[in-house]
Amino acid sequence: MNEHNEQLSALIDNELDNTQIMDALVQSVEQQDTFSRYHLIGDIMREEAPNILLDIDFSAFVLAQIEKDNQTLEVPVDFIKMKKNNILSFTKRFGQYAIAASVAGVVVLTSVMMSQPNGSNTHDGLEVLSTIPLGGAASPVSLRTDTQESPVLTKEQKKRTEALLKDHQLQIQIQP
């Protein structure tokens, strides 16, 4: 045993490259305890041993925590997967709604713009973007708009818009 410990002492000091001694160290609990105590002696001599962890095999705590982490990591894998799928389906659905809303918006804006008589969006040779707000009929001071509209045309436009919207909503409901 003394011979083994002498070799262990040299191994600790990086003065020995001996696989057999390393193997013995890895396999023998007694050698491992000696290894710890030899290191502790050095730590105490160098004043690198605060009054914490001094007589503790701290590796047991570390390995227990690693084990615990591995277990807690294993459990939520499916949970994370499930959550991820939910997020994906949510983004997919959200995307669909966004597209539907954009299409509806474009249709409404186009129908509103189309319903205005030709030439009303130019004034004194200057091209001005002329739209009537969705909420009502605002009349900016600098812009003159004719509010004369054909009631039949407006009704038809509305019908078309509603049909488009209904069709889109139906498509969304049908999709999984």
Partner 1 sequence: MSERDLDLQLIHRIQRGEQIAFTLLVRKYQNRIANILTRYIRNSGDIPDVAQEVFIKVYKALPGFRGESAFYTWLYRITVNTAKNYLSSQSRRPPTSDIDALDADHYDGSDALRDIGSPEALLRSEEIKNVALNAIAQLPAELKAAITLRELEGMSYDTIAKIENCPIGTVRSRIFRAREAIDKQLKPLLEA
Between 12 and 164, CB nearer to partner 1 = 12
Residues 65-94, one symbol each (x = binds partner 1 by CB under 8 A, - = not), give xx--x-------------------------
User: Which residue in the set 20, 22, 71, 100 belongs to the binding site for partner 1 (CB under 8 A)?
Assistant: 22
Contact range with partner 1 by CB under 8 A, out of 50-58, 71-79, 93-101, 145-153: 50-58
3-state SS class at 107: helix
The single residue listed with the structure tokens 């011979």 is 3
Which H or E run includes 117? none
The span from the CA of 115 to the CA of 74, in Å, is: 62
**H or E stretch including 1?**
none
In the complex, minimum distance from the CB of residue 71 to partner 1, in angstroms, rounded to a whole number: 14
CA distance 15 to 20: 14
Rounded CA separation 133/75 (Å): 54
Under rule CB under 8 A, residue 54 binds partner 1: yes
Amino acid at 11: L
CB of 84 to partner 1, least distance (A): 23
Give contact residues for partner 1 (rule: CB under 8 A).
2, 5-6, 9-17, 22, 25-26, 32, 34-46, 48-63, 65-66, 69
